[in-house]
Amino acid sequence: MTAVTLDSLDLAALLASRICHDVISPVGAIVNGLEVLEEEKDEQMRVFALDLVKKSSKQASARLQFARIAFGAAGSAGASIDTGDAENVARAFLADSKAELSWTGPRALLPKNRVKLLLNLIVIASTTIPRGGKIDVTLEGSGFDPDMTFRIVTTGISSRIPAGLEDLLDGKAPEHGIDAHVIQPYYTGLVGRAARMDVSLEAREDGVTLTATPQPAEAQPESGVTEGTAGS
């Protein structure tokens, strides 16, 4: 892999494609359910269709609320985000997945990019346990300390670090280049550098540990995306 820098238009387009991919399935299910309600006379089928619409609407809403913080502006430049809100959207986002989420740590207002990094790391964590399992999120530090360390431990059968993930986090592109399939970990690396946090991954026998540690105060961000502006 080689280091790559996307221009802002390409980055925005690929992130939009990723978000659309995440919401198209539940939105399509809502459309199908509404069509059944319009055409079907059988009461049992109508009940099934209504249930599908309700579940899919909840899923679409959860994915959009998650994306708003993880990828979007979610406040003005330099804003802080409540980690309690991050926990709520993460739980809703994973509610229909095979992963069980646990969350430990004080509730705090953290710089926006650090919360965005945390949520994106949770997405990455879910890819390390493709057959399901547990995702344990720990925020290490006090509720008054913006320099918290994030530790995410996954446990599951057939756990692994996806091929190329570490390179993408470092801003390196695979041979075919950056596309919508790999934009999320690439973007996570951008946000990590903007937030001045170092991200590391460690494979264990039964899972993967992801850690995000604040850089020393004198360290400078490596990307053109600055603290508080990524995704805004």
Q: What is the pLDDT of residue 72?
A: 86
Highest mean pLDDT among 38-47, 200-209, 218-227: 200-209
Per-residue pLDDT averaged across 159-165, rounded?
94
Q: What is the pLDDT of residue 223?
A: 45
d(CA 198, CA 189): 9
Residue 166 has pLDDT above 80, yes or no: yes
Q: What is the pLDDT of residue 76?
A: 55
Greatest C-alpha distance within the chain = 68
Token pair belonging to 31: 């459309």
Q: What is the pLDDT of residue 174?
A: 84
Q: What is the pLDDT of residue 121?
A: 98
Per-residue pLDDT averaged across 120-130, rounded?
97
Model pLDDT for residues 97-106, shown as the tens digit of each residue: 999 999 999 9
Residue 207 has pLDDT above 70, yes or no: yes
Residue 100 phi, psi dihedral angles, 5° rounding: -100, 125
Model pLDDT for residues 177-189, shown as the tens digit of each residue: 899 999 999 999 9
Q: Which helix (H) or strand (E) holds 18?
A: helix 8-39
Q: Which DSSP state fits 42?
A: -
Model pLDDT for residues 82-93, shown as the tens digit of each residue: 999 999 999 999
Per-residue pLDDT averaged across 1-5, rounded?
79
167 contacts 186 by C-beta, under 8 angstroms: no
Residue 142 has pLDDT above 90, yes or no: no
Which spans in 71-156 are helix H?
A: 83-94, 112-127
Domain 2-214: which topology?
Heat Shock Protein 90 (3.30.565)
Confidence class for position 78, pLDDT limits 50, 70, 90: low
Confidence class for position 212, pLDDT limits 50, 70, 90: very high
Using CB atoms within 10 A of its CB, is residue 102 exposed (0-12), middle (13-18) or buried (19+)?
exposed
The residues pairing with 173 across neighbouring beta strands, listed in sequence order, are 2
Task: Parse the chain into domains and list their residue ranges.
Answer: 2-214
Q: Which DSSP state fits 148?
A: P
Q: Which helix (H) or strand (E) holds 191?
A: helix 183-194
Token pair belonging to 194: 């903007």
Residue 229 has pLDDT above 70, yes or no: no
